[in-house]
Amino acid sequence: MPVVQAETLAENLQILAKEHKRVLASNADVSAAKEQVQVALGAWYPTFDLTANYGHETRNKPTDSADTAMVPRNLDMSLTQMLWDFGSTDASIERARITFTQAQATRESTVQDLLLEAITAHLNVIRAHKLVEFSEGSSANIKRQTELEDARVQRGAGLSTDVLQAKTQFAGALAREIQAKGALKTSLNRYRAVYGFLPENITDLKNPRLPLELLPKSLDEAVELAFEGNPQLLASRLSADIARADIKKTRADEYAPIFKASAESNYKEDNGGTIGTQHERLVKVEATYSFNLAATAINTLKASEQTHIATTNRFGDTKDLVEESA
């Protein structure tokens, strides 16, 4: 969070948009999502496995054979390429890319929310300070009026009821002054929480110019602008897209086999009670399919479909809220 105060509100907002902890966290989320895209793409690349071992092996053989005590050395290498998984990997890549876009939209929404908080905190300090000045002036005026009424009573020219009324007004003014000062402290605490520092001089804070020329001309235009490029709305819609990609992946994972090609090369030295070097090579294509006998594949797919329905409805609700706020 920035600790150096800029000269203007605009400069402070620029610093916040780059250095605030929430923005830095969102930047990290975007970077992490970008790396996950590369991870998902990596599923289409072959996998190389290497295993080497060295040990001691003793074999007690039948009566007519001599026992052996050897030091086996083995080196196993394999290369595996996934050929087709009926769309599971493609769905994972699609999901990772959508998640990356969603992270970018969430970052933009975070920046917008932060700037709104910063501007609101700025304006609240100005407003609270003006209320303190007004309440202090009001208290001073009523105090002078009370002193005048008291002096008149002392001279015998005034009424004690007027003095009592003036003192009551003065007590109310003091209460409002204390309340205003408390509100100022609260607004300053909020300012510090957002900006990371307190203003050096509250009187130097200025009200920003209202960009009236940017305001929509009609309600329809306001609603259209609220929908267009709204990062919160985009992030909500992308959640539904992610759920749709999850359905594709679940259907492929639960109801389709995986085809892989592999090549293996194994070197064995003094292994299995056999003296000398052995070399094994194997090339194969295999299909793998796992099915839970409790038929949980059906439940898994239904769960993914219900998640998609939930996210779609949440997107619709978010859209309604955006339209309402516009």
Residues 270-303: tens digit of each pLDDT: 777 678 888 899 999 999 998 888 889 899 999 9
Taking each helix axis from N to C end, the angle separating 88-155 and 9-19, rounded to the nearest 10 degrees, works out to 140
Residue 101 has pLDDT above 80, yes or no: yes
d(CA 229, CA 203): 37
**Residue 103's closest CA among 32, 17, 39?**
32
Residues 90-100: tens digit of each pLDDT: 999 999 999 99
CA 320 to chain centre: 22
**Residue 284's closest CA among 80, 86, 47, 45?**
80
d(CA 64, CA 86): 55
CA 323 to chain centre: 24
What count of other Cβ atoms lies within 10 Å of the Cβ of residue 326?
16
Count Cα neighbours of 138 within 13 Å in the Cβ-side half-sphere.
Answer: 17
DSSP tally for the chain: helices H, then strands E:
7, 6
Which of 26-30, 307-311, 319-323 is the least confident region?
Answer: 319-323
Concatenated DSSP letters of 219-233 = HHHHHHHHHTT-HHH
**DSSP assignment, residue 50?**
E
Please tell me the pTM assigned to this model. 0.81
Residues 168-217: tens digit of each pLDDT: 887 888 888 899 999 999 999 999 999 999 998 888 888 888 777 777 78
CATH superfamily of 9-208+257-290: Outer membrane efflux proteins (OEP) (1.20.1600.10)
Helix (H) or strand (E) segment spanning residue 284: strand 274-288
Cα 281–Cα 284–Cα 288 angle in degrees, nearest 5: 135
Scanning the structure block, which residue is given the tokens 């909500």?
236
Which tokens is 138 given? 């009001």
Count Cα neighbours of 219 within 13 Å in the Cβ-side half-sphere.
Answer: 3
Residues 144-171: tens digit of each pLDDT: 877 776 676 676 666 666 667 777 887 8
